[in-house]
Every structure is written in structure tokens, then in C-alpha cells.
Amino acid sequence: NAGVTQTPKFQVLKTGQSMTLQCAQDMNHEYMSWYRQDPGMGLRLIHYSVGAGITDQGEVPNGYNVSRSTTEDFPLRLLSAAPSQTSVYFCASRMQPGSGYTFGSGTRLTVV
């Protein structure tokens, strides 16, 4: 099925560990974004990309890296996990400016 695919769905990390959250879309969307969702804080933008090879920071980028080597994939890397990064992470994509976003099903991350 067409859409945004995120893996893994669940992950538990120890403080200081690193990992990569995967995001792939098969809709040929240029724009991709990562959001985190926290109780009481809503959804906040971490990083975004307007096309292959182009990325930039969002509202809460510290502790995260991204790259965009292909149109389809937009992985999010946690460099050294901290308990404050315990959250639900959503990847989203859209075709062009003004079009609506499609969201993935999320990755629930716990850092202990």
C-alpha cells in the first residue's frame, strides 16, 4: 500500500546508545518531515527536507541528525539517546507546497 512506512514501531534504548529511525515513502513526495509527540506539548517539528540532498532544522533539532540521499528515504538518527528523547516519533511527507501531509504510523521510543 502506498504511504509512509516507519520502522521500528517500538524501541527501548539505554541512555547514551545511538539508533536510526527509518522512514520511507513511495508517493514520490519531495517534502518530508520528522515530528515528535509528547503529552502536553503536542507535535513539534524536529527536522525537515524539501528534496534529496536538502535538509534543515525544525523547532527541536538538538540531539538528532538527518540525511536525505534519496527521494524515498528520510532516516532520523539519535546520536546519544537521553531520557528526554522518550517520545513518539512521526514521519510525514507531502507532494508540494500547500498540499496536505501524510503521516506514518509512528515509532514509540523509550530511553531508560
| Residue ranges binding another protein (CB under 8 A) | 31, 33, 35, 40, 42-43, 45, 48, 50, 56, 58-59, 90, 92, 94, 97-106, 108
**80 burial level (CB within 10 Å; 0-12, 13-18, 19+):** exposed
- 50 vs 82 by CB, closer to another protein: 50
Q: Which three cell numbers stand for residue 65?
A: 541528525
Q: Which amino acid is at 51?
A: G
- 1 vs 100 by CB, closer to another protein: 100
Place of cell 524536529: 46
- 11 vs 17 by CB, closer to another protein: 11
